[in-house]
Amino acid sequence: MGNKTLTETSKFLSYILRHKPQAIGITLDNEGWVDVSALIEGAARHGRALDETLIREVVVGNDKKRFSLSSDGARIRAAQGHSTTQVNLQHVQKVPPERLYHGTASRFLESIRRQGLIPGSRHHVHLSDNPDTARAVGKRYGTPVILNIRAQDMHQQGHRFFQADNGVWLVEHVPMDFISETTIAL
Higher confidence at residue 85 or residue 161?
A: 161
Give pLDDT, residue 6: 85
34-39-45-51 Cα dihedral, nearest 10 degrees: -160
Average pLDDT of the segment spanning 137-157: 91
Weakest mean pLDDT among 21-30, 43-52, 114-123: 114-123
Give pLDDT, residue 81: 65
Q: Is the pLDDT of residue 89 over 60?
A: no
Burial of residue 57 (number of CB atoms within 10 Å: 0-12, 13-18, 19+): middle
Task: Quick: pLDDT tens for 71-80.
Answer: 888 989 887 6
Rounded CA-CA distance 10/80 in Å is 14
Output the average pLDDT for the chain.
85
Q: Is there a contact between 159 and 171 (Cβ–Cβ < 8 Å)?
A: yes
Average pLDDT of the segment spanning 4-33: 87
Highest mean pLDDT among 17-21, 85-89, 145-149, 182-186: 145-149
Domains 3-78 and 93-184 share a fold: no
Q: Taking the domains of the chain in order of start, what are their residue ranges?
A: 3-78, 93-184
Give pLDDT, residue 7: 87
**Could you tell me what percent of the chain has a pLDDT over 70?**
87
Question: What amino acid is encoded at 149 in this protein?
Answer: I
Give pLDDT, residue 86: 58
What CATH number should be reported for the domain whose range is 3-78? 1.10.10.970
Question: Of the CATH numbers 3.40.367.20, 3.20.170.30, 3.40.50.300, 3.40.50.920, which one belongs to the domain with range 93-184?
Answer: 3.20.170.30
Rounded CA-CA distance 128/84 in Å is 22
Q: Is there a contact between 178 and 153 (Cβ–Cβ < 8 Å)?
A: yes
Rounded CA-CA distance 132/134 in Å is 5
Average pLDDT of the segment spanning 83-91: 58
